[in-house]
Structure formats: C-alpha cells, structure tokens
Amino acid sequence: MNSLVLGIESSCDETAVAVVRNATQVLANEVSSQVDTHRRYGGVVPEVASRQHLESLPFLVEAAFQKAGVGYGDLTGIAVTAAPGLIGALLVGLSAAKGLAFRLDLPLAAVHHIEAHLYAAQLDTEPIVFPALGLVVSGGHTEIYDIQDWGKYRLLASTRDDAAGEAFDKVAKLMGLGYPGGPMIEKLAKLSPDKKSHFTRARMSDGTQDFSFSGLKTAVSLELQKNPVQNETDQRNLAAKFQNTVLLEIGSRVQNALEAGTYKSLIVGGGVACNQALRDHLGKMTGSFGIDLRVPPPKYCSDNAAMIAGLGAYQLSQGKRADLSTTAIPRAAFY
C-alpha cells in the first residue's frame, strides 16, 4: 500500500482534518474543539455545531497540509464521516469531501464513525491481532463487538437507553459540575478514598448482556435528594460511587464476552476510553486473560479525523469506494 489520504470528521461538535499515510501513519491530525461554544448551553446545539464546522474546515485543511508537508496533488484519496451523527454537521463534512474528490478526481471513502473509533487503536502502532473483542464507549454509544477482521463484525451488546458518556454528562449536570462531565467526574472520583461503593447494577430481564445507564442516572438523582452534597468530600464520594458503577457495568459484560469467546485482543475506542480508571480496570482484566489490550492514546479516543483517514485508506485499499451520490445518515449500524 502506498497511499496518502485526507480525512474529514464533522459528526458532532469537533471539526477535524487529518492526513494519514498507508492507513496507519498519522502525518497531521488537526482538531478545532467547540466545547467552549456549547458549554454555555449545557450541551451540543446542532445548528451552532454545523455553522462552526463550515467556518473551521477550510483553515483546518490548510493547517493539516502544512503540518504534513504535503499538498492536494500528493493525495490518493479522500475519506469522510458519513454516519452516524448530527445530520447537519455530517452534511458539512460530506459536502466538502465530495467537492474535493470531484475537483481532484480522487476516490472517496464514506466512513462509519463508530467503526473508525475501533480502527483508531491501529494508528501509529503495530497491527491488531485478530480475532478481537471490540468495546466502543462514547457519548452516544456503548457497544461490544466480535471482530474477526476489519469489516467483519458481530454485535454482542449495546445500550438500551443512555450511553456511558451521556450518563457521565447527565450526572455531572445533576451534581452541578458543568459540561462536559466525564473529565470532571473522573477527577473527583480519583480524589475519593472510597474505591468500592457502587449503586445497584442493571440487569436485563431478557438475560442479554445489553447496557442500561438511565437507571443509574436516576439513582444518582435520588441519592442527591436523600443526601444532598454538603462539601467537596461528599462530591468526591458520589462521583466515585457513580464511576465505580459504570466500571462494573462495562467490566462485567466485557469479562462475560471474553469468557464466551476466544480472542487475542481487546480493542477499546470512543471518548470515554480516555478515562484512566476504565483503562486500568480493563488492563487488569486482559492481563488475567493473557490477551492484548489496545486502547488508542487520548488524542485518538475523542473525535478526530486521523481515525477517519486511516479507516478510509484501508477501505480504499480493499476496493471499497463511495460515489458522489452518497448521503449522510444520522443513525446507522455498521455490523
């Protein structure tokens, strides 16, 4: 493979452009965060996000080229997030990618955002050893996959309601911590001496391994009503109790999946994979199974274009190309 692919990511509130060589070597990974813009609203406002993408993309493309030391004429392909995400935000990135592919007469790869989060574990490092168990933990998704190879997936578990990242944000709001909530709760939990207490864990009545975090959010709300936070110690302990429960919910399902299959790797992707407590928890588990834990560095866990360009380059190498009639899809499974 000898490729140089430009990737564009605009599925939610991060505008990103990257240049990746040969599907794994990241030459540039530029991100324009909208966190400060949306913090005042307590969450992402779709229309605002779309306008920010439109303003940021041209500058990020030029910044990525400058960082990578390449130009339009060096590219062999264009990759873009086509699903899932906010429809307006997706359309901004997809329209830009189509325009570039048409103008430069280059092949286009329409990438699934969640699949790219898993592929991120292969950037700037050695190849994944398959078969692998895949865990996606983000603001909108909490899913476990059986992965035989890139492009060969089987869904084992998903969330019935709130995703893990969404639960972090909602609980942080209940606790008056602001947005985004994940880093704030993690910081408080780390300072708590209480490492074992947890809320009642969810159980599916149908016996599946699916996740459910809406009940946990309710449990935190009831706890706050019953025992209002009086000081920073109370706040730390509540954050730890919540985070401990999330770790147990995720860890138990991953362990069950590992026991039920024969895997050589555990791949973890998504914004919540930045959480060091989760990384440590899964690290101990994979150590006991004697398998490889593959979690990208934080810069490739949150939304970024390097994972889009990398996966897009791989897809193009396999002959998988999108045409210019490809449309954005706000909700779409890739399995």
Q: What is the mean pLDDT of residues 67-96?
A: 96
| C-alpha pair distances (Å), 255 with each of 213, 251, 252 | 18, 6, 5
Q: Is the dihedral of CA 95, 100, 103, 108 positive or negative?
A: negative
Mean of pLDDT over the chain: 93
Does the pLDDT value for residue 40 go beyond 80? Answer: no
Question: Tell me: the pLDDT tens digits for 94-153?
Answer: 999 999 999 999 999 999 999 999 999 999 999 999 999 999 999 889 999 999 999 999
What is the CATH class of 128-295? alpha beta
* Residue type, position 157, single letter: A
3-state secondary structure the chain: CCCEEEEEECCCCEEEEEEEECCCEEEEEEEEECHHHHHCCCCCCHHHHHHHHHHHHHHHHHHHHHHHCCCHHHCCEEEEEEECCCHHHHHHHHHHHHHHHHHHCCCEEEEEHHHHHHHHHHCCCCCCCCCEEEEEECCCCEEEEEEEECCEEEEEECECCCCHHHHHHHHHHHCCCCCCCHHHHHHHHHCCCCCCCCCCCCCCCCCCCCECCHHHHHHHHHHHHHCCCCCHHHHHHHHHHHHHHHHHHHHHHHHHHHHHCCCCEEEEECHHHHCHHHHHHHHHHHHHHCCEEECCCHHHHCCCCHHHHHHHHHHHHCCCCECCCCCCCCCCCCC
Residue 300 CB coordination number (10 Å): 27
CA dist., res. 218 & res. 174, Å (int)? 10
Tell me the C-alpha distance between 280 and 102, whole Å.
Answer: 45
Q: Stretch 221-237: mean pLDDT, rounded?
A: 94
pLDDT on residue 280? 96
Asked if 4-121+300-317 and 128-295 have one fold, the answer is: yes
**Residue ranges of domains in the chain:** 4-121+300-317, 128-295
Q: Report the pLDDT averaged over residues 8-31.
A: 95
Mean pLDDT throughout 259-284?
96
Q: Which of 37-46, 195-204, 249-258, 284-293 has the lowest mean pLDDT?
A: 37-46
The strand pair at 142-149 and 152-157 is best described as antiparallel
- What is the model's pLDDT at position 159? 92
State the pLDDT confidence band at 82, using cuts at 50, 70 and 90.
very high
On the question of pLDDT at 75 being above 70, the answer is yes
Q: Could you give the count of Cα atoms lying within 13 Å of 308 in the half-sphere of its Cβ? A: 37
State the pLDDT at residue 41.
67
Look at residue 194 in the predicted model and tell me its pLDDT.
79
Task: Mean pLDDT check: name the lowest of 9-18, 113-122, 204-213.
Answer: 204-213
Burial category of 206 from C-beta neighbours within 10 Å (exposed 0-12, middle 13-18, buried 19 and up)? exposed
- CATH topology (fold) of 4-121+300-317: Nucleotidyltransferase; domain 5 (3.30.420)
Q: Are strands 108-112 and 152-157 parallel, antiparallel or unpaired?
A: unpaired
pLDDT tens-digit readout, 282-323? 999 999 999 999 999 999 999 999 999 999 999 999 999 999
Whose structure tokens read 């993309």? 57
pLDDT, tens digit (0-9, with 9 covering 90-100), for 41-60: 677 777 887 898 899 999 99
Which of 324, 299, 312, 302 is closest to 98 using CA atoms?
324
